[in-house]
Structure 1
Amino acid sequence: MARPTKNIEEKQSEVLRFRCTPSEKNSIQEKSSQVGLSLSDYMRAMALDGQIKIQQSKYDFELVHQLKKLGVNINQQTKKLNATGVIPIELKRVLPKLEELLDQLLEDV
């Protein structure tokens, strides 16, 4: 399915250029990648709004990564539980870690 065509007012057809030093360029590029935006989106947001609203911090990404790893572990241990009928020791160890990570995530929200 093709993307719908934009109105003339919605098309980003105009180009703005400005000069900066190499260190300023590197700094701007680093900031845009820290907030997860393309350089164009970052510059547009800064020029129009003067600020960038960061959706998630790096801390959140680390917690989400840890939760994914625990989820995989829980899935493996649950398969063992279903196969044997005995709760694996690893499952008992994972649950407190999971509760701790969820508490940390809820504190940040």
Structure 2
Amino acid sequence: MKPTQQTVRIRGVRTIIRTSAKGKVTTKPALPKEWELQAAQVRALRAMPEYGKQFLLAGDQNAAKRGPRAQAEAVAAGMTTGEADMRIYLPGGQLRIARQSG
């Protein structure tokens, strides 16, 4: 038997199920998806009283998986692999970036 792994939802929670070569089944919580972490960051930043007065933010999904046609369209539209997913604009034209792993 070959070891397997799959990620599923159990009662709404993402869970990794692993089956060993000997048939032993184990489970553990799966890490959040990148977009879920980014969405939490955006919610927290927008909830700050300084948002809109001392800083603004912008984001996109440059690293999203795409088919060949969608990838060509994204490149033509200026999206670049490795570009930051979120940018924070500060007074005086200062720019800060939030790097995502992946």
TM-score normalized by the length of structure 1: 0.28
Larger Rg: 1
Which structure shows the bigger proportion of residues in strand conformation? 2
